[in-house]
Copies of this chain bind each other. A is one copy, B any other.
Amino acid sequence: MSRRRLGYLLKHAGLRLGELTGPALEPYGIDGREFAVLSVLGAREPLSQLEAAQRLGIDRTTMVAMVDALERKGLVGRRPHPGDRRKNIVEPTERGREVLGAATRAVEEAEEAFLAVLPDQDAQRLREALDRLV
């Protein structure tokens, strides 16, 4: 049995991973949270702000500030939803898609570096176990 609590391990694993992904994203001018938002907004179907917020498990008021920041950086754009004008459709700009692609590769490399201490199969199992737990 591990001597350290599971909560400690999860928290500090996330912190350590963040120490790798943070610098990996820096060249693209975004942080980990902005990358997460950009990722869901780059999904196949266009999303409203609320839908994007729900996919990430964050509040819609938090999403406002995230979209503001990405819009200021020219990475996403808002437009009214054609059928329901209460909603904003938020989509990556062309540059947003480029950044998303490059940043995704950078994050995947950071994840690989983070997981490098584990045999490949163990890393794969870790992902699958976390996926089931979440």
A residues near B, CB below 8 A? 1-2, 4-18, 21, 32, 36, 39, 56-57, 107, 111, 114-115, 117-118, 122-123, 125-134
Hey, which chain B residues are within 8 Å of A7, CB to CB? 14, 17-18, 21, 32, 36, 107, 111
From known contacts A122-B129, A129-B125, A133-B117, infer whether A17 and B8 are also in contact, taking CB-CB under 8 Å: no
Main secondary structure of the interface of A (DSSP, over half): helix
Q: Is the CB of B16 within 8 A of A14?
A: no
From known contacts A122-B125, A125-B125, infer whether A131 and B9 are also in contact, taking CB-CB under 8 Å: yes
Q: How many copies does the complex hold?
A: 2
Q: How far is the CB of A55 from chain B (nearest CB, A)?
A: 10
Residue picked from A1, A16, A107, A129, most chain B C-beta under 10 Å: A129
Hey, which chain B residues are within 8 Å of A12, CB to CB? 57, 134
Taking a contact as CB atoms closer than 8 A, the residue among B32, B117, B131 that contacts A4 in the complex is B131
Q: How far is the CB of A41 from chain B (nearest CB, A)?
A: 14
Among residues of B, the one whose C-beta sits closest to the C-beta of A123 is B129
Among residues of B, the one whose C-beta sits closest to the C-beta of A18 is B7
Please report the C-alpha to C-alpha distance between residue A111 and residue B130 in the assembled complex, in whole angstroms: 14
Among residues of B, the one whose C-beta sits closest to the C-beta of A6 is B111
Please report the C-alpha to C-alpha distance between residue A132 and residue B12 in the assembled complex, in whole angstroms: 11
